[in-house]
Structure 1
């Protein structure tokens, strides 16, 4: 909603201090726009009578929704679908699937849990990503009659917790029991396990369910970027969502043969529509998290699942279609494109990749209201650089006005106003809906000033020209610069801050330091932004300036700021070393730099961070994909983040960084061996070992979380085991499992084997590399000998031993979070090595503490034979304590010490012993 629309005759203004997310807002009050009567100077135009399926699939038969579709609840429509297709697959996310009858049961059970824990009228949060549980939770909240507030798990917890407080959430739904590690304590919030709803019998909360839920009550509250700097919750009713579904189905003729795979965020209005539509028309919904799976996996899923319908924002369309194989999208019959301006070059790229019979539907809407859609006819004559967004949808009255609230002539640009029964109910504040004022003659008719500048020709065709305010869209997500400004201005080291939108639709910020500030000042602000705002609100560039230029009246001089940005960000050729375009693929650094600078033109790779250079998550997906092509091998997508430096990129792309999500290829005859690392994590020694035994096994290295995960409680042995099992399931969904664990990893591998066996999988090789769990593990003579070995073989300096002792001291007193904050403050370049070593040592100490806790716990006896590779030790049993916990144990003596048995010269002796034991196991 445009809070300050500038139309005095459109609005009766009142000021109400809405609670901010994360603290008080600036001294701006929030202006709620209310329509009292149609303004003078224009009349409301009616929507087009053009058939929704015109130029579309007019001859395709499909089950129509009926004229009263939006008068009935979503749950009643689901019941109707279940009657027709009880055993048909409704939803799958690749690992779990539900038939329509199972979906109905899950929705009903979860609705009962919601109603039993959430008072009527109170909102429930949905902290679920793009998985099967999201649509289940959304439908369950509607059945329970409680407004649902989707929360994007990828947003910073600080922001999500603040939204939770501002929205007055009574409960939050998430996969698994309990609150996430790191989430602030909130006794008033009930946590509901989404996965518990699949029980065969209904739960005890069904009696609390309302017999009927009004379709005009608040149903979904979607938090978007707000112009005051605080996120705002847009309230939509079931009626509004069902109307979007009905118009989508009537236009595209959807039915039970269709397969949807949404590639948009679930916590958006487009995500709601793309998930609700297949569930209410009998189609199948496949869910894939593209940010986790990657572009290649998404392409594979189009073929694997024979997807017929997909929604894409233009930025994702460009990445997905570029370089795709000829038959990747052969099953598609409908591609819907929207979210931001669409270029004709996007349409050319799309049509070159999909079948000739595939229809392209263009749409325009916002979180608050539906807008336009149409099917782009083949051979349509191009006019201008962008594609028109189509014709206004039924159920809408609209007007296009200038700054004086006067109607503009046909073909002239102005702001789009929409009046409808289906627009937003209002905005969520203090746990209740603050409604838009309804039309006096029709209580359901509400007016919304979109803030979009559009033009409409005499046929009713609409083009998007731009925005009236400062708001922009990044990858289809609405972004208000004020939200970034608010975070920066609250920082104690900032005197003033302003964010502007450049002519190329980039978000750029300027900050005035409160004291002397150099590169550390910008680095600190970048870290602050990462912890407070989602990636879409991160600035492409962040500048430190002495003062903010202003006009005589005190307003910010946006023109000067844009000129200053251009001056501080030269784009001349000397900043883009073109020689790297032909870099040798064997030169990882040169190849990565060439791809980096191709995707982020003018941004020198060396010494840069991805997000500081203007990279976002979609560009990162493209970067990894192109880097894989250039290097000729797959990379571990999990190792790439928007906050990584170029040095991080080079490390992630180096050999030995094997992706745990790579499926076993039938053409590769080698058995897979999972390496479970020790307390220091997967480092050069294990990477070299994995490369050495590559002739007998395809080595997949599993990963542990970093320091942030450890501080959130993810560093316990059970959590590490869960992470390893997940990675094994992704890399090798079935078949015999073979794994080997080093040091602490031996204990983790043992528990992983126990979990796999309990799940019915066969573990045919369990190797344990010198893990001592028997008497003598606390032998101080051995510990002293190990310390001496660390110094001798790894040339550990005195300062590193001091830092390790410091990490142990803080961990001993449970103050590791305090030390971590101290590490984060070591931003200065002269402390870079100290910061790195201290973080590394603290991670190892915390993992070893978890290992010590595991040693004290009882352990099961596994019905398998393990192989213990034992270094020479004194004063400890020969089996290192393992005989009691496996039915069979082979002990293989090896040479070298605990820390150097996998490096030369000892590896040359030990490798054949390990390979022989691996081969004898039947691998």
Structure 2
């Protein structure tokens, strides 16, 4: 060991007996040191105190929600929760769970990687019920196996419904109903929760052949967060996007590190949205902290746009060995200021981390995993369990109060053996072979057993063997891990194997085991070779696998069809090229998983095909078990569908609402325009985002550009804005033109760039008339007056927090209406601030649909902002121009202006449809 870095501590005979280290002479204690060494400099953050891990997670969340009630907490691209909304949802669901799930019984979480997963996880902890995350992408049979093994009392599910095979006694708690206010009234306050009680049970691949439940306490989870925050200086300005499944220890750590510091947490289901969408999300949200496993890093960053990852402040890599090739790829994608943090840990324990210096020499093919973290004592021992010296390899043993509590068996914890001198301290043998160098850096050499990690997920060959041996047609089966870290299976048939034997077994594996447990190759053999003592001859099996690969006849590439007339690329050739490039093979044939492909490589392949055909593909049609021909058919079908859609559907028209937002009136208008345009409404940042600083017209334009990029990533753009929306559309047009994107139509529905003469008496008379005719209620006018006064005083944040507190989780009409009015007033203020700022003149034309405005020039100031302006007079006033009876007159005028931007054939077609 390095004496400058480590201190020795004696271990007595009783401890040696308890932890099976009969010849171990001592432990080495990791002293305290600066976790941010080589990391962020002078970045402000709230340092975690010494008692941080003594306080339950829910109490920490409540403190954060009090500090940042209206700040964005979680977003998954569809749903968003502020911190106050998150806290209410967690508190409500926790009371529901405490009322229906007996104390000590575990709760399953069957949720996608959405805003509701953290809600379910945090609510289970607040209720004092251990949570068991269930991976929704695992086969149903494996999920049911874990449900039964864990003796779950309930499962928190989503709207996709209760699994068919779920036992009747397991309560199904729909997340939507669980967070509803009614559930809060019918349930009781959960009792206080101990940070040392079981909090989370994570099932991993087990050496017995069955999934193994590893139990962690809140204390151990909080300790991981503390070390992460203090190393990376995480604060409320950070934006997280953890690119790992939530049902992992890394996913749990990333979620808690974000939500317990006030940061914004963005979640994405990588397998559902694809790599291209992940890149876009990183860039659009300005992600500052991301966690990746090396396999995903390679797929995500290869051929990435130059600035896609420049917002990253910290890129944390872990889950498996990190090569210098990975580091080179990452450094090419991120900015020079981005910190690269390498970490080593497992579901059972923390391990090591460090910030990789920019000038660190490449001493090996892989990168060291850093310095062991404080809070533990450790030993590195040989086969005889004697401590090894510096630079020598051995198994890593860890002694700490932050390692796993034990294993979850039949609904209870089977604890690991504690230190006899201190019951709070437990001992864990990692099974990892490591060495410590002269600099005190840890290097992972390999595994003591057969376990490997594939795409960051733990894999035990015994699970694959159990499934194969359970097949009626199999007499025996063995799985091995090759020197290249591939999982390869050998099966012995009971009778003469038919041609379908191997394929039947592959289908069994696909429907029973997670993707990482599916073998790269499956060989049919007459008998398992064994040594004289009866053990499996692993060397012979490895040689058989190599020989089989060398002597197998090369699969012939599928015949390429000639490209059609007109020079369109041949779909089969495109898929073939992508297949061979991603899998690094000379042929494209058979099934994807037979060829050694996994789910991440499949995403990479789909992205390569998308780039070649210039079209985004739905990922639902692509699976790891599909054949080459099926992939070609899936791509061809998507292309045909896209061509049909282009023929059947009119071009897209993006509709920018006024300060009120997209309401019923504009929705009816959009529906009426359906014959000539696919109207896509733009959504602006909500009140929470406005109060969080996204309160400018520029922020609205940025949000709109993101939505346009998703809905129409290429081609000419058509924009139509009403009131404030006209200004946002103008700003978006300027940015699109600057990016080289054509703007075919810019329509402005009664937006003025000039200050309109004000007549207070006329305004009061008009307002009284609207109240008397029930066009607007006195209640709404009172709420609006309150909002205006508050904004004028600069106290909008205080008002919003007061409204949230007064609502107390229930629906309050006054609170709801006031917040809407507050949002509208703040948006209007942003519009007036934009009017006062200088604006460039755009080199395009526009169409102004102008209502009657006394004393105002015809062009309302737009003639100086655009190269050409058409002014179309329309009926009604600023508010009711798109509602009946004025809609019947105004809609054809707007449609005609839009249709004129189409091609001649398309224009005639749409005008005919409009007239009917």
CA deviations over 1:442-468 (Å, ceiling 9, x no partner): 111111110100000133110000011
Partner of 2:855: none
The answer to whether the 8 A contact 1:124-1:147 is kept is yes
**1:401 to 2:394 alignment:** no
The answer to whether the 8 A contact 1:10-1:39 is kept is no
* Aligned counterparts of 1:630 and 1:86: Cα–Cα separation in 2: 46
Partner of 1:612: 594
Partner of 2:365: 385
Alignment equivalent of 2:260, drawn from 280, 287, 302 = 280
* Aligned counterparts of 1:177 and 1:622: Cα–Cα separation in 2: 28
RMSD of the alignment, in Å? 3.5
| 3-state SS of paired residue (1:60) | coil
Partner of 1:626: 608
* Aligned counterparts of 1:288 and 1:918: Cα–Cα separation in 2: 42
Partner of 1:193: 174
Shift in Å at residue 314 of structure 1? 0.4
* Aligned counterparts of 1:238 and 1:112: Cα–Cα separation in 2: 19
1:24-39, aligned counterparts within 5 Å?
35-36=18-19, 39=22
Alignment equivalent of 1:304, drawn from 284, 289, 294 = 284
Greater Cα shift, 387-396 or 578-587: 578-587
**Residues 657, 588 of structure 1: CA spacing in aligned structure 2 closer, same or farther, 3 A cutoff?**
closer
Q: What's the TM-score once normalised by structure 2's chain length?
A: 0.69
CA deviations over 1:143-179 (Å, ceiling 9, x no partner): 0000000000000111101110110000000112851
**Residues 696, 540 of structure 1: CA spacing in aligned structure 2 closer, same or farther, 3 A cutoff?**
farther
* Aligned counterparts of 2:12 and 2:556: Cα–Cα separation in 1: 51
* Aligned counterparts of 2:503 and 2:341: Cα–Cα separation in 1: 43
The answer to whether the 8 A contact 1:218-1:236 is kept is yes
**Residues 11, 417 of structure 1: CA spacing in aligned structure 2 closer, same or farther, 3 A cutoff?**
farther
* Aligned counterparts of 2:254 and 2:640: Cα–Cα separation in 1: 34
Shift in Å at residue 59 of structure 1? 1.2
1:237-316, aligned counterparts within 5 Å?
237-316=217-296
CA deviations over 1:576-628 (Å, ceiling 9, x no partner): 8699999997222122122212222347323x111121111100011111122
Shift in Å at residue 478 of structure 1? 0.2
* Aligned counterparts of 2:459 and 2:912: Cα–Cα separation in 1: 57
Partner of 1:431: 411
Shift in Å at residue 336 of structure 1? 0.2
CA deviations over 1:686-743 (Å, ceiling 9, x no partner): xxxxxxxxx998999xxxxxxxxxxxxxxxxxxxxxxxxxx9998599999xxxxxxx
Alignment equivalent of 2:352, drawn from 372, 377, 387 = 372
Alignment equivalent of 1:560, drawn from 540, 559, 572 = 540
The answer to whether the 8 A contact 1:82-1:100 is kept is yes
| 3-state SS of paired residue (1:361) | strand
Partner of 2:626: 644
The answer to whether the 8 A contact 2:106-2:150 is kept is yes
Partner of 2:184: 203
The answer to whether the 8 A contact 1:501-1:507 is kept is yes
**Residues 205, 84 of structure 1: CA spacing in aligned structure 2 closer, same or farther, 3 A cutoff?**
same
Shift in Å at residue 195 of structure 1? 2.0
Alignment equivalent of 1:464, drawn from 429, 444, 468 = 444
* Aligned counterparts of 1:544 and 1:556: Cα–Cα separation in 2: 16
Shift in Å at residue 920 of structure 1? 1.9
| 3-state SS of paired residue (1:352) | helix
Q: Structure 2: 5+ residue runs without aligned partners?
A: 1-10, 655-674, 681-706, 720-904
**1:225 to 2:210 alignment:** no
Shift in Å at residue 569 of structure 1? 1.7
* Aligned counterparts of 2:56 and 2:622: Cα–Cα separation in 1: 43
* Aligned counterparts of 1:398 and 1:582: Cα–Cα separation in 2: 64
Alignment equivalent of 1:173, drawn from 132, 156, 179 = 156
Q: Structure 1: 5+ residue runs without aligned partners?
A: 1-8, 14-32, 674-694, 701-726, 737-911
* Aligned counterparts of 1:334 and 1:98: Cα–Cα separation in 2: 24
CA deviations over 1:119-159 (Å, ceiling 9, x no partner): 00000000012111111111000000000000000001111
* Aligned counterparts of 2:247 and 2:618: Cα–Cα separation in 1: 26
| 3-state SS of paired residue (2:353) | strand
**Residues 617, 585 of structure 1: CA spacing in aligned structure 2 closer, same or farther, 3 A cutoff?**
farther
* Aligned counterparts of 2:305 and 2:551: Cα–Cα separation in 1: 34
**Residues 237, 585 of structure 1: CA spacing in aligned structure 2 closer, same or farther, 3 A cutoff?**
farther
Q: How many residues align?
A: 667
Shift in Å at residue 575 of structure 1? 5.3
| 3-state SS of paired residue (1:203) | helix
The answer to whether the 8 A contact 1:10-1:38 is kept is no
* Aligned counterparts of 2:914 and 2:13: Cα–Cα separation in 1: 78
The answer to whether the 8 A contact 2:653-2:718 is kept is no
CA deviations over 1:856-892 (Å, ceiling 9, x no partner): xxxxxxxxxxxxxxxxxxxxxxxxxxxxxxxxxxxxx
1:625-704, aligned counterparts within 5 Å?
625-654=607-636, 656-657=638-639, 670-671=651-652
Partner of 1:155: 138
CA deviations over 1:222-277 (Å, ceiling 9, x no partner): 00000010000000000000000110000000011000011101100000001111
Partner of 1:348: 328
